[in-house]
Structure 1
Amino acid sequence: MAGLVSAQMVLASGPDFPTINDFLPPEILFQGTPFAINRIMLVRIVMTLVILLVLGITALRSKLIPGRWQGAVEWMLDFIRNKIVYEVMGERRGRRYVPMITTMFLTIFLFNVCEVIPGANIAATATIAMPLVFAVWTFFQYWIAAAREQGLLKYLHHELIPQGVPIPVLIIVLPMQLLDVLIVRPVSLMVRLFANMLAGYFILELCLAATQYFLVDVTNKLMTPMGGFMLIAAFVMTLFESFVAALQAFIFATLTTVYINLSYPEEA
């Protein structure tokens, strides 16, 4: 009788689906201090240390003829330098920004991929704070580049008043262009990264919660095929989210490079 009641309670409660509270976890270290750390912040700290450790060890143990590990790291760095920075800006301009774009790409990618790493189970970019930091970094970099390369007034004139646009149309175009360089560019970068990683987290966790519910919590054998289907869906979503982690890092790094490049005069 007790087992029947327990089974009915499980069925009534349903799967343990993720909620927004997953992104507001309790503090687990240094509670009540300005240095309090929750699970998401801990994931960021650990992954940052992993990035520094891996790159540091690779640099210290680098050889003239690279092994597989060194070759893989060098391939990644070459990809960022040649296929993102130099492809957009050219080598002369791009050399200045290779460290920035490399840091941005690797950090975003590895923070994203935490979503599918057991023990982390959440993308470190799935809260608004980290995408905001990267977007603000991009914002300042393309304004600094504009001030250095052509002066802010010339840059604003070029961006706000496109050539060939009739003066009456400028009444509409000018505020739209100003909104673009001040708000739309950084906000679109931030929202795109945040929204994709947040949505991916919820979809993947829904699949995993449904898998546990139908395969473990529910004793009715008729539900087993549904559990198997959700398990396959969870596996597919894990692979897809791994791809999205890399794709979002690539998009963010590429758009950052494009926005900085637009700050240079066309004739340069």
Structure 2
Amino acid sequence: MNVFVPTATDDGTFHGPSIDEFFPPVIFFEGTNFEINRIILIRFIAVLAILLIFWLGTRRMKVIPGRGQSLVEMGLDFVRVNIAEDLLGKKDGKRFLPLLTTIFFMVLFMNITGIIPFLNIAGTSVIGVPLVLAVVAYVAFIYAGVKKSPSNFFRNALFPPGVPKFLYIIVTPIEFLSAFVLRPVTLTLRLLMNMVVGHLLLVLFFSATQFFFFNADGLFKLFGLGTIAFGFVFTLFEILVAVLQAYVFALLTAVYIQLALAEEH
């Protein structure tokens, strides 16, 4: 399993990261509908890590929690207080808390694999997972609106009250694109592009470090000190991005649900 792309050929030239990083060769079940490559395997690992951590943290719940239980409760409380209840209130926040919690931790764990040694790529860096999560958020938005107001949700979303009727020819297409097309697209692309760019930058810095240390001549080797320093800084930055993107994805999902539950719908 290659962690990074090759950094030098036999002639000693440097080759940076490639988009081929996101299309690794098949590891298991090649030629079937169940092909598993490196990124899919990383997704499995991330999901197993979520299940294991939550199982270990909740299997023996105590009134005075231990460190594991405290850590899990802090994560759950963060989603409940800062995302679900803050935007949806206690009643609706409780209804949609399982969904928002699942989205937050799934995105977080799959993002964070991008900086874990021997994994080194995010499970969200290929469009499948971001797209599925965006569709789930979109379906939750539609469900919330239709459940709240079956007869008025789509009408009020496409024909906002108070707008002069002659303006609907302009407003309605804009509202349709904004509410029913661009939301899932932007959710998908925001997460995907952040993870793709982050991975390419890390590969660039660390592969350049390898090149300068092992292939460059003379004082050029000293450039490796700079690239490894930048690599370390961007690793810390990538951790921040991984957490922030998980928060943003769950937050925007809650925002869309809140808009669907608004009184005018």
- Pairwise TM-score range, normalised by the shorter structure: over 0.9
> Who is 2:127 aligned against?
128
- 1:180: how far off? 1.5
Amino acid at match of 2:238: E
How do 1:209-228 residues align onto structure 2 when only pairs under 5 Å count? 209-218=207-216, 220-228=217-225
Question: Take 1:217 and 1:132, find their aligned partners in 2: how far apart are those partners?
Answer: 40
> Who is 1:150 aligned against?
149
Question: Take 2:239 and 2:110, find their aligned partners in 1: how far apart are those partners?
Answer: 11
Amino acid at match of 1:169: L
Question: Take 1:61 and 1:232, find their aligned partners in 2: how far apart are those partners?
Answer: 43
> Who is 1:61 aligned against?
60
Q: Residue 169 in 1 paired to residue 157 in 2?
A: no
Identity of aligned residues (%): 40
> Who is 2:4 aligned against?
none
> Who is 1:259 aligned against?
256
CA contact (8 A) 2:56 2:68 kept: no
> Who is 1:186 aligned against?
184
Secondary structure of the equivalent of 1:132? helix
Secondary structure of the equivalent of 2:161? coil
Question: Take 2:58 and 2:157, find their aligned partners in 1: how far apart are those partners?
Answer: 42
Secondary structure of the equivalent of 1:121? coil
Secondary structure of the equivalent of 2:250? helix
What is the total number of aligned residue pairs between the two structures? 258
Segment of structure 1 superposing worse, 121-130 or 65-74: 65-74
> Who is 2:5 aligned against?
none
- 1:184: how far off? 0.6
Q: Deviations over 1:137-192 (max 9, x none)?
A: 011111111111101x4112222223332333321111010112221111110010
Query: Rg bigger for which structure?
Result: 1
> Who is 1:137 aligned against?
136
> Who is 1:234 aligned against?
231
CA contact (8 A) 1:150 1:265 kept: no
Amino acid at match of 2:171: V
- 1:212: how far off? 0.8
> Who is 1:4 aligned against?
none
CA contact (8 A) 1:10 1:217 kept: no
Question: Take 1:9 and 1:103, find their aligned partners in 2: how far apart are those partners?
Answer: 47
> Who is 2:203 aligned against?
205
Q: Deviations over 1:198-235 (max 9, x none)?
A: 111111111111111112222x2311331101000000
User: TM-score, length-normalised on structure 1?
Assistant: 0.92
Amino acid at match of 1:235: F
CA RMSD after TM alignment: 1.7
Question: Take 1:61 and 1:50, find their aligned partners in 2: how far apart are those partners?
Answer: 18
Question: Take 1:31 and 1:9, find their aligned partners in 2: how far apart are those partners?
Answer: 31
User: TM-score, length-normalised on structure 2?
Assistant: 0.93
Runs of 4+ in 1 over 6 A off after TM superposition: none
CA contact (8 A) 1:40 1:124 kept: yes
**Structure (1 or 2) with the greater helix fraction:** 1
Amino acid at match of 1:237: F
